[in-house]
Copies of this chain bind each other. A is one copy, B any other.
């Protein structure tokens, strides 16, 4: 679940629970599969440790965990700060960008992951919005139109929540150049990087050597542990002191049992674990989209992530219509206007349920012509 949507989420869950029929939950974005076995074992091993292992980890994360992360991304370990999930990693990047770069504006794509613009408001900055392309990607010319010397950061998310769009090499290269031109920090949230269904499509922003790039990530989705809160940022050298200080003054340190379990899981989990879950999501999306075709829906097949956005003729994605879909089709989605005005006519469906195909059939039967 996207926690920031919790009031809406709770409302919809309650509504679905009280409905006179069986309802498939496609609202929450929580992984529904098993975490790595080594994660469970790691937590148990940790639980038997000596008292000193229960005390503060280093503020920027367990040394071995930072080393594993640095090695996997081929970056200097000094750039790696372990955070309380990708959420904190993004917060640190955005707050520090506003101080280190000139400007009080933060650019982001619409439809927008609500945390990005709400966090911008909290930081007393102004969000500027770039409309995504119909396939969920970003046109760099459109980005150029909204940035200026007042822009302190450009926050992107690829694979994207909610669109499923994936930004390719060219887009990333352009975005890095734009960040450099307007003296801003490109904050590239890559938390869904293990869920790309078109290998050609994805490019990490770390591939570009730039003092204007920060990459954020977490183990929340890849290891199906959104509740552990282990994420990280890979920040440019000139920001790491300020990032570490802010992290320390806000959180002191992250939670050590979670970090230790993730470390064990990172070392011992075979690639096949990630590949199996990626395939599972890919198959669900395939089935879901086939049914959307039969339902006559408009949608862009996601090239990454957990979500499918769809629009049905004459049935825009309002809260009322979300409730009607629960009552009449037995499928609970998220109204599109939770992600800003641009996609107010759409619904977001999370495919992190074993009943995704069943839900799709229901939609096809309900809307099918």
Contact between A31 and B48, CB atoms less than 8 A apart: no
* Interface-located stretch among A101-109, A136-144, A203-211, A226-234: A226-234
Alpha-carbon gap, A44 to B218, bound state (A)? 23
Encoded as 1 (CB less than 8 Å from any B CB) or 0, chain A from 55 to 98 comes to 11111000000000000000000000000110110010000000
Contact A228 B248 (CB under 8 A): no
A11 → chain B closest CB, angstroms = 15
B residues near A52, Cβ cutoff 8 Å: 30, 32
Tell me the number of copies of this protein: 2
A55 lies within 8 A of B40 (CB): no
A273 located at the interface, meaning its Cβ lies under 8 Å from any Cβ of chain B in the complex:
no
Please tell me if A252 contacts chain B, counting CB pairs below 8 Å: yes
Q: How many residues of A contact B (CB 8 A)?
A: 56
Q: Are A255 and B253 neighbours in the complex by a CB distance under 8 Å?
A: no
Which listed residue, B43, B53, B84, B224, touches A46 by the CB 8 Å rule? B43
- Report chain B residues within 8 Å CB of A55: 1, 30-31, 224-227
- Of chain B, the residue at the smallest CB distance from A245 is B122
- In the complex, whether A119 has a CB less than 8 A from a CB of chain B is yes
Considering the chains assembled together, what is the distance between the CA atoms of A36 and B59 in angstroms?
Answer: 24
Contact (Cβ within 8 A) A122 B87? no
Apart from A54-B227, A57-B227, A255-B257, what are 11 other A-B pairs with CB-CB below 8 Å? A3-B248, A3-B252, A6-B59, A32-B51, A35-B54, A47-B47, A54-B225, A54-B226, A91-B249, A118-B245, A257-B257
Interface residues of A (CB under 8 A from B): 1, 3-4, 6, 30-35, 40-41, 43-44, 46-48, 51-59, 84-85, 87-88, 91, 115, 118-119, 122, 224-230, 245-246, 248-258, 261
Q: List 12 A-B contacts (CB under 8 A).
A: A3-B59, A3-B248, A6-B59, A30-B56, A31-B51, A43-B46, A43-B47, A43-B257, A54-B225, A85-B253, A91-B249, A251-B251
